[in-house]
Amino acid sequence: MGYIVYFNVVKSKEIVNSPYNVRLDSMADRVVRGKILDSKGEILAETQVAEDGSERRYYPYGDLYAHVIGYDSMGKAGLESTENFNLLTSHAFFLEQLVKTVKEEKNIGDNVITTLDTELQKAAYDALGYYNGAVVVMEANTGKILAMVSKPTFNPNSIKKDWDYLTSSANSELLNRATQGAYAPGSVFKIITALEYIRENNAYDNYGYHCTSEITHEDTTIHCARNYAHGDEDLKSAFANSCNAAFSDIGLSLNLTKYRATAEDLLFNSKMYSVLPYTQSKFQLDKKSETSEVMMTAMGQGKTQMSPYHMTLISAAIANGGVAMEPYFVDEIVNYTGTRVSKNYPSKYKRLMSTQESSQLKDYMVAVVEEGTGTALSGESYTVAGKTGTAEYSSDKEKSHSWFTGFSNVDNPELVVTVIVESADNSGMSAVSVAKKVLNAYYY
Ligand SMILES: [Zn+2]
């Protein structure tokens, strides 16, 4: 029963040296690569041209945006890769382009204005501190990604010098844990289990369970956190308390074929929309699974794996009446003088659940913050609905990752926030505290 975080080997070279990007690089002979900016005009990447014409790509924020913005030498990654074409295309005034071409001077590439918010990005980065992990902040009703942090990180300004270290490092600094991390979901997975229970039982409100701190079925015993006996619970309080015994009990009652179908409705075992490279999530129960596996899976352990990005999409759907918006990073493309070339607008990605189901889950997530494991987020000027999680990654019960997913301003959801803190263990560090710092930065 090891819950070791599993990461794909970083195949950076494969991703970034695609034939497409190699072909585009010839455009760099004629165009000075454009800038990448945050939503308020802060420069996140720019090309500095020296007197002798030599160019250097510079990232003023160093490692802060490493995984999202990426890098432009040793191949390409992040938005430097996905926006390569726009950055190397110039929509400068036609006559100016003509004159420069005649004088054999380079034209100036277009700027990419992102949806990113440096204040939130910094708040998330600082809140994680020295811990490894990831934070995703998305606008619920648009899909705009406002912040995406992954730690440990790297400095794209020195990527060439650091390349040998980074590509062989056991810390996987180049991996974007937000989209590529494959983690046991821990108790945030109770969202999916609760949804399945609601789907299978019209009278789900009548669910009752008496928690004595553990549940034993056949040879398997599952304990509640700190061996706490939650006593009498209904579905809502079991969810708010994150009661492992109740959720194992619920798991044993589920139709496993339908359970899997619900997980797959929610993008497990399938491709999902992502601008950046991601790791597909896994849900492995089927009708032949053993009961021990079912009990573990229902409360968030077992063989299930998912990324913080995926969890963000699920929370966004709950916030947004069941529909997840398509996540995006690029708001608009402008020429170097600021004239708009193109603009991206919010679009619906997928309905993950019915409106009724989303409002029921929202109600349970409100209870988590009002009376359950997420009360650290209550009592602020903003409201929050969410779910906490502790995912064990070793047979030593003290070793665990800390999860949080949820959204702010419950009646009219604004920010969806998902956090994972690796090896939070019993250090007092928690994903909830990281989420709170991010929300405070936004609201205060
Ligand atoms: Zn319990």
Report d(CA 367, CA 372) in Å as an integer.
6
Return the pLDDT at 117: 98
* Low-confidence winner among 10-14, 200-204, 238-242, 305-309 (lowest mean pLDDT): 10-14
Q: Report percent pLDDT > 70 for the chain.
A: 94
pLDDT digits (tens, 9 = 90+) for 424-440: 988 889 999 999 999 99
Q: What one-character-per-residue DSSP string does 196-234 give?
A: HHHHH-TTGGG--EEE-SEEEETTEEEE-GGG---EEE-
Peptide bond into 308 cis (omega under 30): no
Return the pLDDT at 101: 85
Return the pLDDT at 318: 98
Q: Ligand 1 centroid vs 122 CA: distance in angstroms?
A: 37
For tokens 């790297």, the residue is: 154
Q: What is the pTM of this model?
A: 0.94
Q: Ligand 1 centroid vs 214 CA: distance in angstroms?
A: 7
Q: Ligand 1 centroid vs 423 CA: distance in angstroms?
A: 23
Tokens for 411, please give them.
């009646």
In the predicted structure, residue 4 carries a pLDDT above the cut 70: no
Q: Ligand 1 centroid vs 362 CA: distance in angstroms?
A: 21
Q: Report the chain's mean pLDDT, rounded to a whole number.
A: 93
Return the pLDDT at 282: 97
Q: Ligand 1 centroid vs 418 CA: distance in angstroms?
A: 24
Q: Ligand 1 centroid vs 432 CA: distance in angstroms?
A: 20
For 116, the 3-state DSSP assignment is coil
**36 residue type, one letter:** I
Q: Ligand 1 centroid vs 416 CA: distance in angstroms?
A: 27
pLDDT digits (tens, 9 = 90+) for 97-121: 888 888 889 999 999 999 999 999 9
**418 residue type, one letter:** T
Report d(CA 410, CA 363) in Å as an integer.
9
Q: Ligand 1 centroid vs 411 CA: distance in angstroms?
A: 29
Q: Ligand 1 centroid vs 245 CA: distance in angstroms?
A: 5
Q: What one-character-per-residue DSSP string does 358-403 give?
A: HHHHHHHHHHHHHHSTTGGG-SSSS-EEEEEEEEE-SSSTT-EEEE
Q: Ligand 1 centroid vs 295 CA: distance in angstroms?
A: 13
Q: What one-character-per-residue DSSP string does 298-351 give?
A: HTT-TT-BB-HHHHHHHHHHHHTTTEEEPPBSEEEEE-TTS-EEEE----EEEE
pLDDT digits (tens, 9 = 90+) for 146-181: 999 999 999 999 999 999 999 888 889 999 999 999
Tokens for 307, please give them.
């990324």
Return the pLDDT at 409: 98
Q: Ligand 1 centroid vs 402 CA: distance in angstroms?
A: 18
Q: Ligand 1 centroid vs 409 CA: distance in angstroms?
A: 29
pLDDT digits (tens, 9 = 90+) for 291-349: 999 999 999 999 999 999 999 999 999 999 999 999 999 999 999 999 999 999 999 99
Q: Taking residues 225-239, report their average pLDDT.
A: 96
In the predicted structure, residue 16 carries a pLDDT above the cut 50: no
Q: Taking residues 54-73, report their average pLDDT.
A: 96
pLDDT digits (tens, 9 = 90+) for 391-434: 888 776 678 999 999 999 999 999 999 999 999 988 889 999 99
Return the pLDDT at 12: 38
Q: Ligand 1 centroid vs 1 CA: distance in angstroms?
A: 21
Exposure on the CB side of residue 427, measured as CA atoms within 13 A? 16
Q: Ligand 1 centroid vs 126 CA: distance in angstroms?
A: 34
pLDDT digits (tens, 9 = 90+) for 345-375: 999 999 999 999 999 999 999 999 999 999 9
Q: Ligand 1 centroid vs 439 CA: distance in angstroms?
A: 29
Return the pLDDT at 38: 98
Bridge partners (DSSP) listed for residue 403: 389, 420
Beta strands across the sheet bearing 384-392: 145-151, 133-139, 415-421, 400-408, 384-392
Q: How far is CA 237 from CA 76, 242, 364, 430, in A?
A: 48, 8, 8, 22
Q: Ligand 1 centroid vs 195 CA: distance in angstroms?
A: 19
In the predicted structure, residue 248 carries a pLDDT above the cut 70: yes
Q: Ligand 1 centroid vs 238 CA: distance in angstroms?
A: 7
Q: Ligand 1 centroid vs 153 CA: distance in angstroms?
A: 37
30 — pLDDT class (breaks 50, 70, 90): confident
**397 residue type, one letter:** K
